[in-house]
């Protein structure tokens, strides 16, 4: 069952959600340390979001496909129209129907549970939805993916920021994994366009929120 996406919620509930996130993300490499935090910016302030974010590895695609694994997807010209990362940026990611794009490994802890990015699916005809998943390694050493969001075709005709992310599933899963609030885990975000006829998706400026529970 996919995780549920909600608007920003209260601090207490956000912390419970954060613990739940680690239940799904945790892997054997989890360690007793906090994730390092790069310098942050209020990237989405113009859209009513005053949270602090840092750019994911090559999250603006200005270095081509570096730090990404692409299948039926490519980096090309055409930046998102708000130029969050910089006025000189000129590239974005294109994910064709049936295509997939996977980030580099991202460190996750109980405070780092949010992300946002820009998406567009131009054209007037129907097209494939875009599914967002988290790839993680379980305690058994097996790699798995947990779907956490779906961008529906028709809602992103122009460049639009994705929603806030606040996963909500059974909190006891965190305890079942055996992690504490001090643990960290390494995960990858997966963006997959459904294999249906229609226009490709474009993605740009993927940001991570390291203070979602603060």
> The CATH number of the domain where 159 resides is what?
2.60.120.260
- Does residue 141 belong to any structural domain of this protein? yes
- Does residue 5 belong to any structural domain of this protein? no
- Does residue 130 belong to any structural domain of this protein? yes
pTM comes to 0.80
- Does residue 1 belong to any structural domain of this protein? no
96-150: pLDDT as tens digits: 999 999 999 988 766 666 789 999 998 877 889 999 988 877 667 778 787 888 9
The count of structural domains within the chain is: 1
User: Domain containing 139: what range?
Assistant: 11-84+91-209
- DSSP letters of the chain? -PPPP-S---HHHHHHHHHHHHHHH--TT-EESPPP----B-TTGGGT----BEEPTTTT-TTTTTT-EEEEEEEEE---TT-SS-TT--EEEEEEEEEEEEPPPEEE-TT--EEEEEEE--SSS----EEEEEEEE-TTS-EEEEEEEEEPTTS-SS-EEPPP------THHHHHHT--TTEEEEEEEEEEE-SSSSPPEEEEEEEEETTTT-
- Does residue 191 belong to any structural domain of this protein? yes
């Amino acid at each position: 069952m996919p995780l549920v996406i909600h608007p920003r919620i209260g601090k207490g509930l956000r912390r419970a959600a954060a613990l739940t996130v680690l239940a799904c993300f945790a892997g054997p490499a989890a360690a007793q340390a906090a994730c390092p935090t790069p310098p942050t910016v209020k990237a989405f302030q113009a859209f009513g979001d005053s949270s602090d974010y840092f750019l994911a590895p090559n999250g603006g695609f200005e270095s081509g496909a570096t730090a990404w694994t692409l299948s039926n997807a490519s980096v090309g010209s055409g930046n998102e129209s708000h130029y969050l990362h910089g006025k000189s940026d000129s590239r974005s990611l294109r994910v064709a129907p049936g295509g997939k794009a996977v980030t580099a490994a991202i460190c996750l802890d109980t405070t780092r549970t949010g992300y946002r990015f820009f998406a567009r699916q131009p054209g007037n005809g129907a097209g494939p939805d875009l599914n967002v998943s988290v790839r993680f390694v379980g305690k058994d050493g097996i790699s798995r993916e947990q779907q956490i969001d779906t961008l529906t075709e028709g809602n992103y005709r122009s460049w639009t920021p994705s929603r806030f992310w606040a996963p909500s599933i059974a909190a006891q899963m965190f305890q079942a994994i055996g992690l504490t609030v001090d643990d960290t885990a390494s995960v990858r975000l997966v963006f997959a366009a459904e294999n249906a006829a229609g226009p490709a998706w474009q993605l740009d400026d993927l940001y991570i929120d390291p203070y979602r529970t603060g």
